[in-house]
Structure 1
Amino acid sequence: MRIGVFVGASTADLMSLDELIGRIKQAEEDGFDSFWVPHISARGYDALTVLALAGVQTSRIELGVGVVPTYPRHPVAMAQHALTTAAASNGRFLLGLGPSHRPGIEGSFGLSYDRPALHVREYLSVLRPLMEEGRVQFSGEFYNVNAELDVLDRPKCPVLISALAPRMLRLAGERADGTITWMAGPRTIREHITPRIGQSAEASGRDMPRVCVGLPTTVCDDEATGRRQAAEAYERYGTLVNYRRVLDIEGVEGPSEVAVIGNEEALRRQLEEFAAGGATDFMANIFAGEDDGETGPRTYAALKELVGKV
């Protein structure tokens, strides 16, 4: 299982552009498999621009965005932006897409959050041919597109979607290169995510897609304190319908119960459980479980030690 660093899921992750790119370069130097940032419209920088800048300053590490909301960005514009970032990183860019959540799309953008699974299906039907072949003709309920995109360099660019519900997981297996999960615990990955996406891919004659698991992570000796602080930092995710669904499948009350928390040995055990359940990638959003200034570096060091060993 590949191990990466995921920065930006919490307001505590807000940092300058120089600092963020420095973190990416350091993660590559420290041997991490990947570095991920979210695209949050109300906070932080444009994720693809950040990763393009980082791409020209790194050489090995995968650079992922988890995820870009689809409703506000037309797939033709998204294809051009993604290919630019992929070219800047010499094919190391992972494009994560998803419909986001009803409150943000309808409340902030004033757009309809209508039939998200169908919306993403049509989005991929426009995006992927344009990225891979340079042309697309598509007529659907959300999009009617006849477009071309001519670029000199057309690097590979895997496309993953934020598939958590059955219809989205089926779509991920049929049309995408994997799923990016958030707030999905080990039982959910083992019994819900991996089987559904795997069965869909097999039925479509495709290889098993990637299952990229993102979770709050901290290494500390006082697990109770760590979970209490996780509850405070990530409480809002438990109120969103899409995440509430996977928390209910896991059988837990809130995000703090699926967060990866404990000492170094506990970290290893929890990551091994995800790997055994079918996770191909683990994306660690490091947070301070103990307010002593040492938890963050300790967690980073423990994750670094596990790269290539889980």
Structure 2
Amino acid sequence: MPSLSVLLPMMPARHEQILSYAALVQWTDALRLWQGQALSLDAHHSFVFAAGAGFKVPMGTGVSLMPLRHPHDAAVHARSVAVASGHPFVAGIGPGGIDFQRNIAGRPYASQLQAVREYVAAMRGLLDGEEVDLDGEHFTAHDVLPPLPTPPVEIGVGVLRPGMARLAGEIADVAITWLTPASYLRDVIVPAMEEGAKQAGRPVPRLVAMVPMFVAQPDRDQTRIVLQSNAGHLMLPHYVDMLERSGIEIDPQQPVETVKRLVSGGAFLTGTPEELGEQIGEFHAAGVDEVVMNLTGVASSYGPQAALAEIETILSQGAP
């Protein structure tokens, strides 16, 4: 049975803002509550707050940016959420953009793939109770975490292009994508993941797709909603490269045409709830195990409560 999950569609300024979304996951068929990189309040703290308020649901980060947190700290935060929620936690990580790495760490990673490999190795060893002895090109870790009974922590890797998809197939529990059309996942990402898993002699990781969407209505401005959701991503070279690989031309000087291409190319979904259900089904057919409904454009344009109501509508009427 295909899985649908929920992305918290804003960066909360108060922990209480997460509760209605955690309740939605608890009281519906939604599988998991996700949050992207938060710049106001730490996502892990918000998750623990929700669990402490009684909403003990599966949760995940999609994704936390590596330059902000050492692998040891990432492992402790991830394990803390698993303990608080009582459910397996998906600790999604990613290197972020080159400029972000430079701004936070002083310089970009010499190799994005090697940095991710080292980070995952350190996190995995610590979470498995091993004594980690890593002197890598990008990260150093010589430590062990004290034993603690806890639900499993799965490590997810943010994936946009074939190289990272192969690496995820080799080392990750979950591959997490954002703004990736179903056809691109089917033709590029899934085969690369399978190749990496085969080389490593391990099962192919689960594939989670964060999919931006909204219910079409006559009075809604499509361009506004799409850009409110992803204008920042459309300025990042690795996202532009991924979208152009999928056949979607990105032109910052033509935002209206760019939005039309994103929608027609299947990177951003819109339509009636039933039509959205059909489009979500295309992601499952492409090999996606979990589709995460991303309503950030609706929340930014019309408020978090409008996004919450729309998620409920899609779940009740549009789920495949």
Is the TM value for this pair above 0.5? Answer: yes
1-side partners of 2:84 and 2:57: how far apart?
A: 13
Please, what TM-score do these two structures have when normalized by structure 1?
A: 0.88
Q: In structure 1, how many angstroms separate the alpha carbons of the residues matched to 2:219 and 2:274?
A: 13
From 254, 274, 278, the counterpart of 1:269: 278
- Give, in whole Å, the separation in 1 of the partners of 2:179 and 2:301: 23
Residue 128 of structure 2 aligns to a residue whose secondary structure is helix
**C-alpha deviation, 1:23, in angstroms:** 2.1
| 1:300 aligned residue (269, 293, 311) | 311
Q: Which residues of structure 1 form unaligned runs of 5+? A: none
Query: Which residue in 2 is equivalent to 1:288?
Result: 298
Aligned ranges 1:131-170 → 2 under 5 Å: 131-170=127-166
Shift of 1:289: 9.4
Superposed displacement of residue 53, structure 1: 2.3
- 3-state DSSP of counterpart to 2:29: coil
Using the TM superposition, name which of 53-62 and 266-275 deviates more: 53-62
Relative to the length of structure 2, the TM-score reads: 0.85
Q: Which residue of 1 aligns with 2:17?
A: 19
Higher mean displacement: 44-53 or 232-241: 232-241
Distance 1:21 1:259 in 2: 26
- 1:92 aligns to 2:103 (yes or no): no
Given candidates 77, 84, 104, the residue that maps to 2:73 is 77
SS of the residue corresponding to residue 67 of structure 2 reads: coil
Taking only the aligned residue pairs, the percentage that are identical comes to 24
Cα drift, residue 128 of structure 1: 0.4
Aligned residue number for residue 246 of structure 1:
242
Identify if the C-alpha distance between structure 1 residues 76 and 185 changes in structure 2 by more than 3 Å, giving closer, same or farther.
Answer: same
Q: Does structure 2 retain, via aligned residues, the 8 Å contact 1:173–1:200?
A: yes
Q: CA deviation at 1:163?
A: 1.7
Taking structure 1 as reference, are residues 233 and 170 closer, same or farther at Cα in structure 2, changes over 3 Å only? closer
- Number of matched residues? 304
Give unpaired runs (5+ residues) of structure 2: 251-257
Structure 2 matches for 1:190-269, cutoff 5 A? Answer: 190-222=186-218, 225-254=221-250, 256=259, 257=262, 258-269=267-278
Question: Partner amino acid for 2:271?
Answer: G
1:126 aligns to 2:122 (yes or no): yes
Deviation of the 1:90 alpha carbon: 1.6
1:25–1:57 Cα contact (<8 Å) kept = no
Contact 1:36 1:65 in 2 (8 A): yes
Report the Cα distance in structure 2 between the residues aligned to 1:168 and 1:262, rounded to whole angstroms: 31
Distance in 2, matches of 1:209 and 1:29, equals 28
Q: CA RMSD in A?
A: 2.6
Cα distance per residue 1:140-181 (max 9 Å; x no partner): 222333211113324310110002222211111111112111
TM-aligned CA distance change 1:292 to 1:229, over 3 Å: closer
